[in-house]
Chain A
Amino acid sequence: QKEVEQNSGPLSVPEGAIASLNCTYSDRGSQSFFWYRQYSGKSPELIMFIYSNGDKEDGRFTAQLNKASQYVSLLIRDSQPSDSATYLCAVNDAGGTSYGKLTFGQGTILTVHP
């Protein structure tokens, strides 16, 4: 059973702080890793993807990947109340022909308070 694990939270941070979201995965063959943001009642929105070990930065977001530890994280700098949402970690399926398939974690609820 391929799994993606996230701490469900809620994670509460003050406005302007760094929010750190973590995710572990079980399938060593996975090659692509994603962070989606989902506001209540809305569809998931892709905010970052990463496939090489190390850091990838995009504006206030930094994704970090460590394949040896099977660990991926998302840092949100200068957190804003509008960042309050559920953050979903997803990993592609490396097996067979279904590499388009993503396995999602349960999501971490982030609350940024003023």
Chain B
Amino acid sequence: NAGVMQNPRHLVRRRGQEARLRCSPMKGHSHVYWYRQLPEEGLKFMVYLQKENIIDESGMPKERFSAEFPKEGPSILRIQQVVRGDSAAYFCASSPRLERSVNYGYTFGSGTRLTVV
């Protein structure tokens, strides 16, 4: 029973390029969460998705960032025209459908370390 799978583990991009981060949820999980961790900081929520639907994107920067979770395939976090400040660890987690207000926590993937040079 594989856990949350993220790839690539490390990604190096030059300023102005695009970064695509992938997340495959645990089997049977329909909800995906993306978090970002800047160096020496805690985790910051970015976006919460279910299949083909964005539930909450309140933590996403207004420009250059987008996320999707298609009916088939992994969830994708896309960062266009990357800048040095985008260098961070990006973590994905997944959960089954939650009963209202009950959250038992979730398991994170190993993360993608993005370095912008």
Contact = CB atoms under 8 A, between A and B. Distances in A.
Interface residues of B, number: 27
Contact of B45 (A31, A45, A96, A102): A102
Contacts of A42: 110
A32 to B, nearest CB: 4
A101 interface: yes
A51 B91 CA distance: 24
A106 B44 CA distance: 9
A34 interface: yes
Contact of B43 (A31, A100, A104): A104
Interface residues of A, number: 26
A98 B56 contact: yes
A97 B56 contact: yes
A100 B48 contact: yes
A34 B95 CA distance: 15
A98 B103 CA distance: 11
Given A44-B91, A88-B43, A99 B108 contact: no
Given A31-B102, A43-B111, 8 more contacts: A90-B43, A94-B101, A97-B55, A98-B56, A100-B56, A100-B106, A101-B56, A101-B58
Interface of A: 31-32, 34, 42-46, 49, 51, 88, 90, 92, 94, 96-107
22 contacts: A31-B103, A32-B101, A32-B102, A32-B104, A43-B109, A43-B110, A44-B91, A46-B105, A49-B104, A90-B105, A97-B56, A99-B98, A99-B103, A100-B33, A100-B56, A100-B103, A101-B33, A101-B45, A101-B56, A101-B58, A102-B103, A105-B42
